[in-house]
Amino acid sequence: MFRTALRNVLAHKARLLMTVLAVMLGVAFVSGTLIFNDTLSNGYRDQTAKSYAHVDVEARSYDTSDKIPGISGKTFDDITRLDQVAEAAGRVDGTADVTDKDGRLINSGSSTSAANFAPGKDGQDPLYVFTDGSGPTEPGQVALDKDTAEKNGYEVGDTVRIALKGPAKTYKLSGIFTTDDTSVALGDSLVLFDTPVAQRLFLQPGFYHYVTATAAPGTSSTELAATISKLLPGDADVKTGQQLADERAKGGAGDASTLSAILLAFAGVALFVSVFLIANTFTMLAAQRARELALLRAVGASRGQVTRSVLIEAMVVGAVASAAGLGLGAAMAAVARSTVGVFGAKNPDGPLVVTSTTVLVAAVVGVLVTMLAAWLPARRAAKIPPVAAIGSAHLPTTTRSLVLRNLLGGMITLLGATVVLAGAGAGGSLGQGLVGLGAVLAVTGVIVLIPLLSRPVIAVAHPLLRRGFGVSGKLAGQNAVRSPRRTGATASALAIGLTLVSALTVLAATLGQAVDKVTTDIVRADYMVTDSGAGLDPSAVADLRKVQGVTAVSQEQQAWMQIDGSQQDVTGVTPADFQKALRLPVVSGSQDTLAKGQIAVAENLARSNGWKVGDTLPVEYEDGKSGRLTVGAVFEHNDVVLPVVVSTDVIEPHADKTSILKIYVKTEGGTNEKALADALAGDPGVKIGDRQDIRDEISGELDTLLNVLYGLLAISLVIAVLGVVNTLAMSVFERQREVGMLRAVGLDRRGVTRMIQLESVVISLFGAVIGLGLGAFLGWAVGETMKTEIPGYAWVLPWGRFALFMLLAALVGLLAAMWPARSAARLNMLTAIKTE
C-alpha cells in the first residue's frame, strides 16, 4: 500500500500541485516568521554584547531637584576616586533636531539621538572610534556618526545647524565616528556634544543621566557594582554591563517575539484556509479514483489500508510542501530583513538563523495539516464498497450525512451568534473575549452550513445568469450547486479571508467616522503646530500670537502628577485660549472651571476611580510637593487631550522645564499656513498642519495598522484563489465526458469557456457574500465592546468598500478560471466522450 500511495502521488502530481502550493505558502509564512525572529533575536544579543563591551558597571540615580534621572558632579567625583574604579565617565543623552545642508531634518523628519563626548585619561571616549577628526571639546563643536555624515554629505570642518526647542544654531563638525551603540547599529543617527553643553541642553549643569565605570584589575564587575551602590541613594539603579546587555537583548528579543506571535496568528489563518483546498483535492481525487479504490478492496485491501494509503499520499505531499516552504520561508525572512532598510532602519549584523526547532516545526506543521485535512476524504474513500469496481466511478453524497451536518452547523452557528451578542452587550475586555470566542464558533458553524447555504444563495443569481449569458449561464449556475460540498469547501476559503478583511474594514470605517466627529466637535482651531520630537520652545507661542489674523494660540503642555495615589499624565493648557481652540465634550461640570485652577478628567478615568464633579483630590506634583485639586468637569475620553486637563498656572510652578507638545492656532481674516511657517522659520523641527492634518494625526496609526493587517491577510486570499483554481481544474478533468457531450450537441469553445468562467465567478461571489456578511456582523460586535472608549461612536457599514470587495471577488473568479476554462475549451470532443 505504501508503494501504491507513492505511485498515486506521482501519477497525479499535476492535480496535487495547487495543494503543494497552498501548504508551501502556509509553511513558508510560519518558517519565515520563526527564522526572522531567531535572526533578529540573535542579532540583538550580539549587538548589545558589543555595545556594553567597554562597560563593567552602569549607575543611574534620582538626585536632581525635579526627579529627572541624574547623578550629581560631586557623586561622580566620589565614584572616580574609588580604588576599585579604573576609569569612569559621566553620560548625558537626549534628542536634537539635526538638519542637512538644505535645512531639512535628517532621519526623515524625526529627531536625532544626542549624547555627550566623555574622554578618559587618554583623551578618547571608549564608546566612539573617530575615523576622521576628533570629539567635540568646545561649546561650538559637534560630532556625527559615520553613516549620518556620509548620507548627508558632511565632512569635518563643515557647519551643522541643530535646533533644540527653538531656532537652529550653528555648530562646527569636529569629527566623524563609528560606534557599537545599539540604536546607531539599528539605523538611528547620533550627534555628540561637549559635556557641559550636553548637560545644559538635556539636563542640568553639573549633572549626568548616568555613569559608566570599568573595574580596576582584581575587581569583578559585581564587586564594583556593590561598592558604587554605597555612594548612591536607595532608589539608585546599579547594574553590571552583562546585566544591561542581557536586559537589552531580552527587550529586543521580546519585541521580535511579539511581532512573531502576530505573524504566526496570520500564518495560522493561512494554514486554516489551506485545509479547505487540501480536503477538496483529496475528496475529488478519491471520487475520481473510486473504481480504482474499490478494486483494491475487491482484491483484499481492508478499509484501514485504503485509509492509510490516502493518508500516506497526504504525508508525502505535506513533506514535499514543507521542504519547499522552509526554503521559501528562509528567502522571505531574508527579504523582510533587507526590506527594513527601506524604512530607514537597519538590522543587527549576522547571518540568517535557521534552527533545528524551525526545521522541525515546518515539517510537523506541513505534514500534520495536510494529513488532518485529508483524514475525512480518506475515511470516505475507505467506505467505497468493492462492488463499485464494476459500477459507476462517482458515488453520490448521502442525504443523511448532509442532514446531520446541517443540524450540527446550525447549532454551532446559533451558539456562536449568541456568545457574540452577549459579548457585544457586555463590553470591555470581558466582552471582547466573548466576541472572540463567539466569532470562532460562528465562523465554524457557517463553514459547516455552507453547502446548505450554497443552493438558495446561488439560486438568486440563476435568473441573471440565464438572461445575461444564455445556455452557458444556465449551465454555470447548475454546476455551481451540483456538488454543495465542493462548492462550500471552495467558497469557505475565500469566505474566511474576506470575513477578517471586512470585519477590519467595518471597524476602521466606524473608528474613522468617530475620529472625524471628534475633529469636528472638539477641535475648533484651524492649525496644529507640532515638533519632530524634541518639543516646542515657549517662544513659539509668543511668535504665533504676533501673526496678523491669529485669534487664539493654545499650547498643550505635558506633565505628570500623583492624583489620589495614582500617577496620571496631564495636559496643561491656558484656559482662555483653550476655550477658543478646543471644546471639551463635557459630561458634567464646566470647562470654565479650568480658569479657577480646577481639573477636568476623562469619564472612563473618573468612573474607574469613583471621582465626580466637586470632589477634592490629594495630588503630588513633579517636584514632590503636595496639594489638593477639585474636579471641575468630567468629559468624554478622546485622543485629542490626555485624560487629565489642568491650567498651566497649576503645573508650571512645579516643573523645572516647560515641555510643549502641541500648539493649536485659531485664525480669521485669511491667515494661512505660510504666515505661521514664516513666524517659526528659525526652527527646522516645526510642523504645521491644517484640520485635515489634525484628523490624520489622530487616525494615522489606525490607518497604518489597517494596511499592515490587509497585507498579512493577503496570503490567505492567495491560498483561497489557489483553491478556486484547483477545484475548477479538477472539476474540468472529472467532467471531461460532460464537456465533450456539450461540445457534441452544439456548445462551442467560447460557450464552454464562458460556462467555466461564470461558474468560477458565482462560487467566488458566493464566498464573498458569506465573508462580507460575517465580517459586518463581527465588526459591529467588536465595535460595540469598545464604544464606551470611543467618543462619537456609531456603527458604519462601508458600502463602497464592500462593493469593491465584491468586484474584486468577481475578478478573482475570472482570473482563477483562465487556465481551467482554457483546458476545457481545448478538450478533444471524441476523446472526451470516450473518457471513463
Instruction: Give the pLDDT score at 343.
Output: 47
Q: Is residue 310 located within the same domain as residue 388? A: yes
Q: Which helix (H) or strand (E) holds 399?
A: helix 399-426
Pairing, β 141-145 against β 169-179: parallel
Of residues 602, 638, 603, 598, the one with CA closest to residue 614: 598
Clarify whether residues 321 and 341 are in a common domain.
yes
Tell me the three state secondary structure of residue 100.
Answer: coil
Nearest one of 331, 349, 330, 325 to 270, comparing CA atoms: 325
Predicted pLDDT at 305 = 80
Same-domain pairing of 162 and 267: no
612-639 pLDDT tens trace = 999 999 999 887 789 999 999 999 887 7
Q: Could you tell me if 548 and 491 lie in one domain? A: no
User: Residues 788, 830: one domain?
Assistant: yes
Q: Is 54 inside any structural domain?
A: no
Residues with Cβ within 8 Å of residue 577, at least 6 apart in sequence: 552, 553, 554, 555, 666
772 vs 549, residue with greater confidence? 772
Among 346, 370, 395, where does a domain finish? Answer: 395
Instruction: Note whether residue 422 is domain-resident.
Output: no
pLDDT at res. 288: 66
Q: Give backbone dihedrals phi and psi of 553, rounded to 5 degrees, phi first.
A: -130, 105
3-state class (DSSP) for residue 391:
coil
108, 1: one domain:
no
pLDDT computed for residue 25 by the predictor: 83
pLDDT of residue 713: 75
pLDDT at 296 > cutoff 50 = yes
pLDDT-based confidence at residue 391 (cuts at 50, 70, 90): low
Q: How many Å apart are CA 780 and CA 709, to the nearest integer?
A: 18
Res 423: pLDDT: 92
List the domain range (segments joined by +) for residue 598.
538-682
Confidence of residue 150 (pLDDT cuts 50, 70, 90): very high
Q: Return the CATH number at 668.
A: 2.40.70
Co-location of 575 and 493 in the same domain = no
In a domain, 486, yes or no: yes
Cβ contacts of residue 610 below 8 Å, gap of 6+? none
Separation CA 597–CA 588 (nearest Å): 17
- Is 566 contained in some domain? yes
Q: Residue 389 gets which letter from DSSP? A: G
Note whether 700 and 673 are same-domain residues: no
| Contacts (Cβ under 8 Å, ≥6 apart) of 25 | 270, 274, 325, 328, 715, 718, 719
696 pLDDT more than 70:
yes
Identify the CA nearest to 161 among candidates 150, 149, 151, 173.
173
pLDDT for 347 equals 61
Domain boundary among 682, 714, 734: 682
Closest Cα to residue 194, out of 293, 92, 271? Answer: 92
Q: What is the pLDDT of residue 123?
A: 87
- Tell me what percent of the residues of the chain surpass a pLDDT of 90: 23
User: Looking at the structure, do residues 664 and 742 belong to the same domain, yes or no?
Assistant: no
Beta strand 616-620 with 141-145: parallel, antiparallel or unpaired? unpaired
Shortest CA distance to 770 belongs to which of 518, 378, 470, 452? Answer: 452
Confidence band of 398 (pLDDT split at 50, 70, 90):
very low
- The predicted-structure confidence for 469-502, as pLDDT tens digits, reads as follows 888 888 888 888 877 877 887 788 788 888 988 9
User: Considering the chain, what is the average pLDDT of its residues?
Assistant: 83
As a whole number of angstroms, the longest Cα–Cα distance in the chain is: 104
The C-alpha cell that represents 770 in the structure block: 458569506
> For the chain, what is the domain count?
4
Rounded to whole angstroms, the Cα distance separating 203 from 738 reads 83
> What is the share, in percent, of the chain residues with pLDDT greater than 70?
88
Residue 534 in this model has a pLDDT that exceeds 70: no
Q: CA angle, 785 as apex, 779 and 789 as ends, to 5°?
A: 115
Q: Residue 618 falls within a domain, yes or no?
A: yes
C-alpha cell at 831: 476523446
Identify the residue with better confidence: 142 or 340.
142
Which residues make beta-bridge pairs with 588?
Answer: 634
Residue 526 pLDDT class (50, 70, 90 cuts):
confident
- At residue 236, the pLDDT reads 77
Q: 231 φ, ψ to 5°?
A: -90, -5
pLDDT of 716 > 90? The answer is no
> Of the residues 355, 375, 395, which one is the last residue of a structural domain?
395
Same domain, yes or no, for 116 and 167? yes
CB neighbours of residue 606 within 10 Å: 23
How would residue 64 be classed by pLDDT, with cut points 50, 70 and 90?
Answer: very low
Q: What is the pLDDT of residue 700?
A: 64
pLDDT digits (tens, 9 = 90+) for 749-805: 888 888 888 888 898 899 999 999 999 999 999 988 888 777 667 888 999 999 999
749: burial class by Cβ within 10 Å (0-12, 13-18, 19+)? Answer: middle
3-state SS string over 315-384? HHHHHHHHHHHHHHHHHHHHHHHHHHHHHCCCCCCCCCCCCHHHHHHHHHHHHHHHHHHHHHHHHHHHCC
**389 pLDDT tier (thresholds 50, 70, 90):** low
Is 795 among the domain residues? yes
Residue 564 lies in a domain: yes
What SS3 class is residue 590? coil
Q: Which residues pair with 117 in a beta bridge?
A: 194
What pLDDT is stored for residue 714 in this prediction? 76
Is the per-residue pLDDT at 15 higher than 80?
no
Is residue 658 domain-shared with residue 751, that is, in the same domain?
Answer: no
Q: CA 114, 119, 125, 131 torsion: positive or negative?
A: positive
Residue 419 belongs to a domain: no
Q: What is the pTM assigned to this prediction? A: 0.70
H-helix or E-strand containing 587?
A: strand 586-589
If one compares 823 and 430, the residue with the highest pLDDT of the two is: 430
Q: How confident is the model at residue 671 (pLDDT cuts 50, 70, 90)?
A: low
The per-residue pLDDT for 674 is 82
The pLDDT score that the predictor gives to residue 396 is 46
**Close Cβ partners of 374 (under 8 Å, ≥ 6 residues apart):** 278, 279, 282, 310, 311, 313, 314
Indicate whether 144 pLDDT > 90.
yes
The answer on 661 and 640 residing in a single domain is yes
Strands of 648-802 (E only): list them.
660-667, 686-689
